[in-house]
Structure 1
Amino acid sequence: MKSIVNNKLERFVGILLVVIFMTLGVYGACFAQDTLTVDIFGPGQRKVNVVLLPPRTLDEGKYQGRNGVNLPLPAEAELFDKDLHRDFEYLPFLNIVPLTAILGGDPSSGVKPGEVDLKPLRLSKVDFALTTGWTIMPSGERKVSLRLIGTYNGRTVVGKRYSRVSEDVLGMIADKFSSHVMRHLTGHSGFFESSIAFVRKNGKDKEIFTVSPQGRNLEQVSALGGVNLSPCWSIDGNRLAFTRLGSRQHLLCIWDKQTGKIDQKTFPGNTVISPTYLPNGDLAVTLTLNGDSDIYLIGSNFKPRKPLAKSWAIEVSPDFDKSGEKMVFVSGRFGNPHIFMLNMKTGKVTRVTHDGKYNTSPTISPDGRFVAFSRQTPLGHRIFVHDMKSGVERQLTFGPGNDEDPAFGPDGYFIAFASSRDGEYKIYLTTRHGDPAMHVPTGKGVAKTPAWRGPGSS
């Protein structure tokens, strides 16, 4: 009898423990969803599902109560919706779920959390719902309210309202809100406020242009004629250095963002290749002062101070981490072009690449851990990334055509590069995980050698 009671008690306790664990599992899952974040720098990034619900027009007088769903949408609403979709598509960790995939269609009656039926969204494994509400004031002024609502906690996790909305600022508002969303999910932002400098072919000339990663604010920097190459931003974003191939010699050009003026400098030896800013404002550039192409440190007075990389071979393409303590560069000192790293404090040079016979265009992540570069393969040039901590090397791009000129973004997550995959060289974006390439609109003409300017610069 006692054994029967014990067996029943053990079974009851076992069932109770299973129920407790299942309950904890459910609450644990809800808690995980409640604090949903994305580690974009980890070994793997999870996908976050988001649905963009149809925009609605709000009655300003009833905004705090019920909304005026029958009011017509302003003309800007459709354009703004496209801008938001495009911005979200640039974030590889976001998966935009079409409204047609939601059971029953649009689950919202308004724009607030209590006006969105979250059950069908959860069933469709949607993590967030974005609502957009437009207000048209009696004066004609447009306002837009944006809410990113968590489907598992039913709360607004990112909410912003913008006034004086007009067609010419729709892209900027979409960028600002997308930046807030990225910061909430990843702890990082700035991608949408950054800028990429690049070389674009204009007829027979090659000039320097700038554009946002999403293809906005396209601007021509130089109009010098001839061939202008290798743009590089200063750390504060106020200056842009590049090389101009003059009729008799190379010139170092410095564009001042504030004034729009370009200062041109000459150096002995007639060669100025791949100028690059250090974090302190100095420059590193390849010069041929003594007949050899070596990398020199250039001070604020534009006088060569000392060689940073010197050998019998060609030394080119320097790039620095955020601290300025590590410089990667290309050298042919072992016969073929390979990537090397210089410790600026100790002067020690470490070889980065050993595979392949042609490795060029290195770029180092701001934290100094990753080095991306272009390698010639039997199928064309491809972008690779080398982990300096683990020594692991991985191919990021696979063509078709050639993939060249990688440039790390200021967050160390995105990488811009040039590719001929569609027949003509254009600028594309990927991540250090090798996510599918995204095209950056740069206008007509071949576009190459991207260089990234960080956000928050003046």
Structure 2
Amino acid sequence: MTSLSIAQGPLTVDIHGPGQRMVNIVLLPPKGLKGAPLPEAAAKAFEELVVNDLSYIPFLKIVPVTKLLGGDPSKGVMGADIDFKPFQLARVDLCMTTGWNGQYIEGRVFETYSGRRVVGKSYRDVHANLPQVADRFCSSFLEALTGKKGFFDSPIVFVKQDGKSKEIFTVLPQGRGLTRITQLGGFNLSPAWSGDGKQIAFTHIAKNRHELGIYDSETKKINRYYKGLGNTIISPVYGPDDTLYAALNINGATNIYELSKSYKAGKTLISGPYIDVSPSFDRTGSKMVFTSGRAGNPHIYLKDMKTGEIRRVTTTGKYNTHPCISPDGRFVAYTHQTSDGHRIYLHDLGTGREKQLTFGPGNDEYPAFGPDGYFVAFASSRSGEYKLYLTTRHGDTPRIISTGKGGAFAPAWDTSLQW
């Protein structure tokens, strides 16, 4: 799952590397700063938020301070205020300190073997924004430790069952900030973020036609388009330079098209007499994966956007759909039908090796890579109703994302990394 480097230089975690090394961290009791009293309730709430955030990181293990010989070995929040020997004896890699006064909170994480500060941040006006502060601090910590960012502050857009209709919502991966985007009735499906995180494209199925929906996060308005897009509009997605692509049925076959700035069908990207759907691009826009029925059954294919070459990715099974390419273009996560139901698989485009990431029960579908290429969101019916879950590209134990009442499907991550 992870590899840890502490012998040479700073402690770092390669979340994409081999190994199963856990990183132990102790959250030290919060302290008042410069004689200011400690706000007990706020300090406790902040610690609970941080604990919850860090619990999503599979390679982190929170160790109680009571496991240290002699208890809390700190007199303050700075490195000079901490006796690191008890941590070393207990084989604890990291420790976190928090300091409070009436105006701000300070958070720091230190390596216990070197005393080096991994991250240090200060936040003002925190009492009304404790969840956001916890998310920001944990995001900075994770970035300092792994070199990757975007998990704690990148929302997921998804489809949520609302009575007889399906509507578009967003939520943070920690299950906070649930926000309704559409209230259109009918079926609103296949949401996708623009690269800058400012728009969400989706398919709106009304009574008489398919429409392309575009939500603008700045104006909070939704525009809908259908002229020049054929009879069906499936799986819209943003590609290079935030150009929009979608699977359209214009001439009797469902193929993948580039859309113009006025949201009309432009050049054909993938064509043929078969069904081609579900395009997904890497961050550079040089690779696109998609689902095609050209082999007689749905399989995953890869198009090199520079050369135009198309090659088949999946060769096993008879039903492989919903591909999502990792931002770095190294892996493809997809839905694979097994005798026990649908499962999420991972294909290494470099080696051709495949790995099963999820194991049910029920059906696991709609994989979506996070902005770091490490976390994978997906929908599963394992509880009897489809809900969203998180795993990693290593197949760590899935964790449910709280989305409230109603089924949840088709997650897609905001990869803009903007706060």
Same fold (TM over 0.5): yes
Q: Flag the structure with larger Rg.
A: 1
Distance 2:297 2:313 in 1: 13
Residue 387 of structure 1 deviates from its aligned partner by 0.5
Identity value in percent: 54
Deviations for 1:70-110, whole angstroms, at most 9, x for unmatched residues?
Answer: x4533211111111001111222212112343333333333
The residue aligned with 1:262 is: 222
- The structure carrying a bigger helix percent of its residues is 1
Alignment of 1:44 onto 2:44: no
Residue 421 of structure 1 deviates from its aligned partner by 1.9
CA contact (8 A) 2:300 2:313 kept: yes
Residue 31 of structure 1 deviates from its aligned partner by 6.2
The residue aligned with 1:171 is: 131
CA contact (8 A) 1:33 1:152 kept: no
Report the secondary structure of 1:38's partner residue.
strand
- The structure carrying a bigger strand percent of its residues is 2
Q: What are the within-5 Å matches in structure 2 for residues 29-108 of structure 1? A: 32=7, 35-44=10-19, 46-58=21-33, 60=34, 62=35, 71-108=37-74
Which deviates more, 150-159 or 286-295?
A: 150-159
TM-score (normalised: structure 1) = 0.86
Distance 2:119 2:75 in 1: 19
Distance 2:371 2:178 in 1: 19
Deviations for 1:290-335, whole angstroms, at most 9, x for unmatched residues?
Answer: 1111111112122212222222221111111112121111111111
Deviations for 1:180-239, whole angstroms, at most 9, x for unmatched residues?
Answer: 111211112122221110001111111001111112221111010111000001111111
Residue 125 of structure 1 deviates from its aligned partner by 0.8
Distance 1:125 1:72 in 2: 29
Which deviates more, 233-242 or 44-53?
A: 44-53
Q: What are the within-5 Å matches in structure 2 for residues 240-279 of structure 1? A: 240-266=200-226, 267-279=228-240
Residue 268 of structure 1 deviates from its aligned partner by 5.0
Q: What are the within-5 Å matches in structure 2 for residues 347-358 of structure 1? A: 347-358=308-319
Report the secondary structure of 1:172's partner residue.
helix
The residue aligned with 1:429 is: 390
Deviations for 1:14-65, whole angstroms, at most 9, x for unmatched residues?
Answer: xxxxxxxxxxxxxxx996275110111223363211111222223x3x5xxx
Residue 172 of structure 1 deviates from its aligned partner by 0.9
Distance 2:117 2:300 in 1: 48
Q: What are the within-5 Å matches in structure 2 for residues 195-234 of structure 1? A: 195-234=155-194
Question: Which amino acid is the alignment partner of residue 52 of structure 1?
Answer: L
Distance 2:321 2:212 in 1: 21
The residue aligned with 1:132 is: 98
Distance 2:238 2:115 in 1: 47
CA contact (8 A) 2:375 2:392 kept: yes
Residue 257 of structure 1 deviates from its aligned partner by 0.9
RMSD: 1.9
Residue 249 of structure 1 deviates from its aligned partner by 1.0
Alignment of 1:324 onto 2:285: yes
TM-score (normalised: structure 2) = 0.94
Alignment of 1:118 onto 2:79: no
Which deviates more, 195-204 or 146-155?
A: 146-155
Distance 1:340 1:209 in 2: 29
Report the secondary structure of 1:192's partner residue.
coil
The residue aligned with 2:409 is: 448
Distance 1:30 1:288 in 2: 52
Question: Which amino acid is the alignment partner of residue 223 of structure 2?
Answer: D
CA contact (8 A) 2:247 2:276 kept: yes
Residue 420 of structure 1 deviates from its aligned partner by 1.6
Cα pair distance change 1:41/1:72, threshold 3 Å: closer
The residue aligned with 1:20 is: none
Deviations for 1:355-407, whole angstroms, at most 9, x for unmatched residues?
Answer: 11111100001121111101011111111110010111111111122111001
Point out where structure 2 has 5 or more consecutive residues left out of the alignment: none
Deviations for 1:256-306, whole angstroms, at most 9, x for unmatched residues?
Answer: 111011110114532111111112222211111111111111121222122
The count of residues paired between Structure 1 and Structure 2 equals 415
CA contact (8 A) 1:297 1:304 kept: yes
The residue aligned with 2:305 is: 344
Alignment of 1:194 onto 2:154: yes
Report the secondary structure of 2:182's partner residue.
coil
Distance 1:190 1:326 in 2: 22
Q: Pick the aligned partner of 1:182 from 138, 142, 145.
A: 142
The residue aligned with 1:10 is: none
Report the secondary structure of 1:399's partner residue.
coil
Report the secondary structure of 1:237's partner residue.
coil
Distance 1:205 1:297 in 2: 29
Distance 1:322 1:30 in 2: 28
CA contact (8 A) 2:160 2:167 kept: yes
Alignment of 1:292 onto 2:253: yes
Q: What are the within-5 Å matches in structure 2 for residues 145-160 of structure 1? A: 145-160=106-121
